[in-house]
Amino acid sequence: MGPTDSPTAARGRLLARLALGFLAGALVALVAVRGRGGLLIVVVGVACLVVAAAGTWWVVSQHGTLRVVGALLTLAAPAAVLVLYAWADLWPAALAAVLLLGAAGLCARAALRVTGRPQGMRAVPSRAPLHPVLIMNPKSGGGKVERFGLVEKAEALGARVVLLDPSTRTDVGAIARRAVADGADLLGVAGGDGTQALVAAVAAEHDLPFLVISAGTRNHFAMDLGLDRDAPDRCLDALSDGEELRVDLGTVDGRPFVNTVSFGVYAQIVQSPEYRDAKAGATLDALPDLLHGYTGHLVDALTATGRLEAQQALLISNNPYAAPTPAALAARRPRLDLGTLGVVGIHVSNAAQAAQVALRGARAPGLSVLTSPEVTVVSDTDVIPIAVDGEALRLPTPVTCGIRPGALRVLVPRNRPGTPTAAPPLDWRELLSLALGRPRSAPATSDRADG
């Protein structure tokens, strides 16, 4: 370690060198195989990925027999690779190469994480609220409010609970504003992400802390805040032992959203009556017809950095996902305070393009990934179906999505089991520079104040 090296820099350089060493070891393991065995290992492995990707595409884009064939291909490809490696007596070298590549990847990400920018959101101390008001939907998440005794536990902590009537359409925003007028110093919601967003907008308007209770079905917002989605009652710990996060709030034509606004294929699925009762089944049943010769309206997205044209599906998120893919809704956002929208556009119409997306990710021609503080969506129709945090809407075009940086104060428990940590992008050129003692990006602190 040089005289000016910090312990962090030295550790990062050591991890970078280990990563490159493991990578070299994997190459040696392949080259050392007799004859053309090493080349065969690589070719067969890549072929396995292509076949599995094509099979996955058939699962989501076909009905009946072809869907079954796709599922079999997805499962059979890796099994066939193992059999071939064993038959050719290549499995020891293949196993060694895979293990060494895995170790290289782990060390590389650890090196970049150690020396890069802090990835997580920072919390600040917060006083316990005196007059919290919590709005609860008793039917949300299949009845989690009753199952976890949320009303009783919240009231025992001094909160006033407003139970929604599932049999009638309720203006939760009006309920939240009335609670503020009556002296509430905190607003919270036990319900789906759509309801969370409407109440969060009122909390942001009055600069009040907002409490998320993970009583919805998927709870994407709660997941990205690090909350326990399996035990929504633990979210109530924030009332007595909490801290605050400053997060952004998305808007679509003035309507708030906390997760994602979707256009095209996904939005059309959400419009179907079956979606509300069986989301996963309705999505799987509808995808083949929508992706195979999609008959809906294609959309264009105008962003700060360019234009995406004729997109089959478009996902705009409140802050970007860590691993943007066509299934970004299943991914995580490690930060909700970057002050920008994530944009994922896709136009995929055949198995070859799907395989490229699966293998190349954001570098595939069918997938476009970018960020922008504002996105305007246009189409060849006057009104377009969209999905806002999973809720079906129809809005006149053009549709404008924006973001309000740091608009929302979220009260969270100090102990959050799922606090996300972002894996930095795997940049081998930066890793090489780091290993040589010439890091291309120096460590930096967050540009958001800690309070």
State pLDDT tens for residues 433-448. Answer: 888 877 554 443 333 3
User: 249 forms bridges with which residues in the sheet?
Assistant: 404
pTM score, two decimals? 0.71
Cβ-based neighbour number of residue 231 at 10 Å: 12
Average pLDDT of the segment spanning 186-214: 95
Residue 278: predicted pLDDT: 40
Residue 60: predicted pLDDT: 63
Residue 451: predicted pLDDT: 34
Categorize the per-residue pLDDT at 375 as very low, low, confident or very high, splitting at 50, 70 and 90. Answer: very high
Give the rounded percent of residues in the chain with a pLDDT score beyond 90: 38
State pLDDT tens for residues 227-267. Answer: 998 999 999 999 999 999 999 999 999 999 999 998 987 66
Lowest-confidence region among 130-139, 227-236, 271-280, 367-376 = 271-280
Average pLDDT of the segment spanning 400-419: 91
Residue 83: predicted pLDDT: 81
Residues 6+ apart with CB under 8 A from 231: 148
State pLDDT tens for residues 333-371. Answer: 889 999 999 998 887 666 556 555 555 555 666 678 899
- Cα–Cα distance measured from residue 354 to residue 363, given in angstroms and rounded to the nearest whole number: 12
In the sheet with 391-396, reading across from the earlier edge strand, the strands are 367-372, 341-346, 313-318, 260-264, 383-388, 391-396
**303 with 375: CB under 8 angstroms?**
yes
- Cα–Cα distance measured from residue 45 to residue 24, given in angstroms and rounded to the nearest whole number: 18
- Cα–Cα distance measured from residue 352 to residue 285, given in angstroms and rounded to the nearest whole number: 22
- Cα–Cα distance measured from residue 126 to residue 412, given in angstroms and rounded to the nearest whole number: 10
For the chain, what percentages of helix, strand and coil (3-state, to nearest 5) are there? Answer: 45, 20, 35
Categorize the per-residue pLDDT at 208 as very low, low, confident or very high, splitting at 50, 70 and 90. Answer: very high
